[in-house]
Chains A and B, each alone.
Chain A
Amino acid sequence: MYITRKAEFSASHACWRADWTADRNREVYGVASNPRGHGHNYLVEVTLEGDPDPVTGMIVDLKLVKDVINQEVVEVYDHRFLNHEVPPFDQVVPTAENIARDIWKRLNGHFQEGPARLKNVRLYETDDLFVDYTGA
C-alpha cells in the first residue's frame, strides 16, 4: 500500500535562461520570466510504497521519512532563491517539472533499502498547479 508525507517550503525562482533573449524568455515562461524572481509556498507530497510490518502495523516510521524530507529538501530549498543558491538550478531552470524531478533524485537514494520504496513525488507550485513524477 501507499503512504504519503507532506512538507512545505517557501522559495523564490525565476523561469529565465540567461542564454535566451528577454523576448524568448517571455514567450516561453510568461509572467514567471521576470529575472528578479518571484516566490511560492511550495507543497511537496512524498508517496512511498510498502507493506505494513506484521508486528508494528506500520509500513515505515514516518518520523524517519519526515527527517529525510527535511534534510534533503526543506533545509536545502526553504527561503532560498533557487536559481542562485541551490544546484542544479544554476544550470537548469527551476520549473515545477524540474523541481519535482530534483526532489525525486534527492530522496530516491534513501529508499533503496528498508521497508519502503519511493512511489511518487507531487509538487504543488500553487493550489492551481502541480506536477507528479514517478522517476521515469
Chain B
Amino acid sequence: MVKVTRQYRFSASHRLHSPQLSEDENWQVYGKCNNPYGHGHDYVVQVQVSGVVDEDSGLALPVEALDGMMERLVLRDVSNGNLNDLPAFAEVVPTTEMLAIEVDRRLRAGWSAVFPEAWPQLDGVRILETKRNVFETIGARI
C-alpha cells in the first residue's frame, strides 16, 4: 500500500461575505477579505490517494486518469474566475474550508466512474490558499 499525492494549481478570486450577517458584522468577521470587489489567490490543491501497487505496471495511481478527472470536475469550473459566481457558492461562503469540502465532495461523487475497482481510494484533499493557510479533509471529519 502506498499513498500518492498529486498537486494542482489554479487562480481565482473570492469575497468572504455572509448574507446572514449585517454589513458591520461581515467586516468584523472577515476583515479585508470582505472587500466588496473581492481578492484572489493562487490556490494549490493536493489530492491524496491510497492504493495498492499493481506489480505489472508498478503504478498505484494512473496519474493521467486523476488529472483528467480533476480538470473535468474541478479545475475547469474554478480557474480564473470568481468563486462567488459558482452555483456551489450561491448559498455558501467560499472560504477555503468550504472550497476544500466542495472539491472533496466532487471527487468522491465522480470517483467510481473513473476508478471502479477497490483501489485506488480517495483519502481527501489539502488546499493551500497561500503558503501559510492550509485546509485539509484528509483523515478529518467533514
Binding site for B on A (CB under 8 A): 15, 17, 28-30, 92-98, 100-101, 127-134, 136
B2 interface neighbour in A29, A100, A129, Cβ under 8 Å: A100
**In the complex, which residues of chain B have a beta carbon less than 8 angstroms from the beta carbon of A100?**
2
Contact status B57-A129, CB under 8 Å:
no
Query: How many residue pairs bridge A and B at CB < 8 Å?
Result: 54
Which residue from chain B places its CB closest to the CB of A31 in the assembled complex?
A: B64
B56, B58, B62, B64, most chain A CB atoms within 10 A: B58
**Cβ of A95 to closest chain B Cβ, rounded Å:** 4
Contact status B59-A97, CB under 8 Å:
yes
Instruction: Report the bound CA distance from A61 to B10 in whole Å.
Output: 41
Contact status A97-B5, CB under 8 Å:
no
**In the complex, which residues of chain B have a beta carbon less than 8 angstroms from the beta carbon of A29?**
57, 59
Q: A28-B62, A30-B64 are in contact. Are A95 and B57 (CB under 8 A)?
A: yes
Instruction: Report the bound CA distance from A129 to B6 in whole Å.
Output: 5
Within 54-79 of B, Cβ neighbours of A (below 8 Å) are at: 55-60, 62-64
Contact status A93-B2, CB under 8 Å:
no
Q: A97-B2, A98-B53, A132-B2 are in contact. Are A28 and B8 (CB under 8 A)?
A: no
Q: Is the C-beta of B113 less than 8 angstroms from some C-beta in chain A?
A: no
Q: Is the C-beta of B35 less than 8 angstroms from some C-beta in chain A?
A: no
Q: A28-B62, A30-B64, A129-B63 are in contact. Are A96 and B4 (CB under 8 A)?
A: yes
Return 26 A-B CB contacts under 8 Å, by A number. A17-B56, A17-B57, A28-B57, A28-B62, A30-B64, A92-B55, A93-B58, A96-B4, A97-B2, A97-B4, A97-B58, A97-B59, A98-B53, A101-B2, A127-B7, A128-B7, A129-B6, A129-B7, A130-B5, A131-B2, A131-B5, A131-B60, A132-B3, A132-B4, A132-B5, A134-B1
B1, B4, B60, most chain A CB atoms within 10 A: B4
**Cβ of A11 to closest chain B Cβ, rounded Å:** 15
Number of interface residues of B (CB under 8 A): 18
Instruction: Report the bound CA distance from A97 to B56 in whole Å.
Output: 12
**Cβ of A84 to closest chain B Cβ, rounded Å:** 16
Contact pattern, B 1-35, Cβ under 8 Å of A = 1, otherwise 0: 11111111000000000000000000000000000
**In the complex, which residues of chain B have a beta carbon less than 8 angstroms from the beta carbon of A130?**
4-5
17 more A-B residue pairs beyond the given contacts A97-B4, A128-B6, A128-B7, with a C-beta to C-beta distance below 8 A:
A17-B57, A29-B57, A30-B64, A92-B55, A94-B58, A95-B58, A97-B59, A97-B60, A98-B53, A100-B2, A101-B53, A129-B4, A129-B6, A131-B60, A132-B3, A132-B5, A134-B1
